[in-house]
């Protein structure tokens, strides 16, 4: 959880540049996502390092800048942030994290446009499913580009490519270092000024540069190729109601075995309703093949739904909430990130995750932003060692120059 996006960005029709500084305090009552005591593990705290604390107070100071630059038909968006994170009890987790992104929005005439950019993040890895309770900084760098060609008033073709690299600082987890090259191409037909439908084809190649996976003592190559085909659509019911979504089929194959291969239907849907001038509700649902970003070998089929109501009480005060429910069915043959020499999962594992979040954003002055967040998450699992209950509270202040 990070400080939320700025709700009051300047308009994109002019140049702007804004540095900022801030502070955020967080309290996490189950930082390491430990399970509740049970007959199989009566004292979960025994999993931690000597002197480690299940709860912690985290102090984060941050500074950065964001901006927008226009040159003729071209524009560049950029942002940079550096965070210094200090843990009151688990000081060995102290770390410096941050983000940086630059995007060139290019355009040629009125029919050809796209983006070209790079995105970098550095953050402390989460502890869900890892069973690794030391510091592991995850660096992710992505380079991407996209293009769209408007053939006529109703027909357009588009595509994008990206190359992303994820690395772990902890030597014990470097087998999870991950490179991913992906691309997508699609065609879109507009049936009216606001309604469209089309088809997309996507390809992904996942590569582990430092693998150390074995099955019964035999080396296993976890690299994979993935292909997707999807029908996509957007429909504006009224000025206050919009629908969008996609439905398709995904197939994943591994380099040297059928173990872990997956194929099946995927879909996503989004419903946006502006109930009043100051309130709106967004509902998203879907089925997809997913993974924890810091443990790309833990793949699961995820079904779920989330509801996000927002109320802009005044120009200075905004309330929002997120209610979500997800079911994760782990793929037969997918590797567990708990060990680089573990056997394959049995395929019987199923997790159910529910989460609730309430946030308040207050902007008393143009240069000052205050934010308050409470987040609760509960995960039940067929593997009792992997279930947990967690509460996080945050308060932050941000000064914009």
Domain range annotation of the chain: 102-400
Cα–Cα dist 349/42, whole Å: 21
**pLDDT of the residue at 342:** 34
Residue range 149-168, pLDDT digits in tens = 999 999 999 999 999 999 99
| Burial label, 14 (beta-carbon count in 10 A; 0-12, 13-18, 19+) | exposed
Three-state secondary-structure class, residue 288? strand
Evaluate whether 115 touches 101 at the Cβ level (below 8 Å): no
In this structure, the dihedral spanned by the alpha carbons of residues 334, 339, 342 and 348, taken in order and rounded to 10 degrees, is -40
Residue range 115-150, pLDDT digits in tens = 999 999 999 998 887 788 999 999 999 999 999 999
CA angle 247, 141, 386 (to 5 degrees): 65
Cα–Cα dist 206/335, whole Å: 14
CA nearest 143: which of 165, 170, 110, 175? 165
| Burial label, 26 (beta-carbon count in 10 A; 0-12, 13-18, 19+) | buried
H/E stretch holding 264 reads strand 262-273
**pLDDT of the residue at 332:** 59
Domain 102-400: give its CATH superfamily.
TonB-dependent receptor, beta-barrel domain (2.40.170.20)
Q: pTM value?
A: 0.87
User: What mean pLDDT is predicted for residues 219-237?
Assistant: 90
Evaluate whether 169 touches 180 at the Cβ level (below 8 Å): no
> What's the token pair of residue 3?
């400080």
258 band by pLDDT with thresholds 50, 70 and 90: low
* Percentage of the residues of the chain whose pLDDT score is greater than 70: 87
User: What mean pLDDT is predicted for residues 207-231?
Assistant: 80
């Amino acid at each position: 959880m990070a400080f939320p996006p700025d709700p009051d960005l300047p308009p994109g029709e002019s140049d702007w540049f804004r540095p900022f500084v801030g502070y955020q305090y967080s309290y996490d009552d189950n930082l390491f996502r430990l399970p509740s005591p049970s007959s199989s593990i009566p004292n979960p705290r025994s999993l931690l390092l000597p002197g480690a604390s299940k709860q912690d107070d985290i102090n984060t100071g941050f500074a950065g800048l964001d901006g927008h630059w226009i040159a003729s038909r071209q524009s560049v968006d950029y942002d940079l942030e550096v965070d210094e994170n200090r843990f009151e009890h688990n000081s060995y987790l102290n770390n410096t994290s941050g983000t940086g992104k630059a995007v060139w929005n290019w355009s040629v005439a009125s029919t050809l446009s796209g983006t070209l950019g790079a995105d970098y993040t550095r953050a402390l890895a989460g502890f869900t499913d890892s069973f690794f309770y030391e510091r592991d900084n995850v660096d992710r760098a992505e380079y991407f580009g996209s293009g769209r060609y408007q053939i006529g008033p109703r027909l357009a073709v588009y595509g994008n490519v990206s190359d992303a690299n994820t690395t772990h600082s902890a030597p014990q987890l470097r087998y999870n270092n991950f490179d991913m090259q992906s691309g997508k191409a699609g065609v879109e037909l507009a049936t009216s000024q606001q309604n469209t439908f089309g088809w997309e084809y996507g390809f992904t190649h996942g590569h582990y540069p430092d693998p150390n996976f074995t099955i019964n003592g035999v080396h296993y190559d976890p690299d994979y190729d993935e292909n997707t085909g999807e029908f996509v659509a957007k429909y504006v019911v009224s000025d206050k109601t919009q629908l969008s979504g996609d439905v398709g089929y995904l197939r994943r194959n591994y380099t040297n075995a059928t173990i872990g291969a997956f194929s099946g239907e995927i879909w996503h849907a989004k419903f946006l309703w502006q109930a009043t001038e100051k309130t709106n509700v967004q509902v998203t649902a879907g089925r997809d093949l997913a993974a924890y970003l810091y443990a790309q070998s833990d793949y699961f089929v995820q079904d779920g739904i989330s509801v996000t109501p927002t109320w802009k009480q005044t120009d200075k005060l905004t309330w929002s909430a997120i209610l979500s429910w997800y079911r994760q069915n782990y793929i037969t043959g997918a590797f567990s990130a708990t060990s680089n020499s573990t056997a394959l999962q049995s395929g019987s594992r199923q997790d159910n995750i529910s989460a609730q979040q309430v946030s308040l954003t207050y902007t008393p002055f143009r240069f000052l932003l205050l934010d308050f967040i409470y987040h609760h998450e509960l995960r039940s699992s067929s593997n009792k060692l992997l279930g947990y209950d967690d509460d996080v509270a945050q308060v932050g202040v941000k000064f914009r120059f």
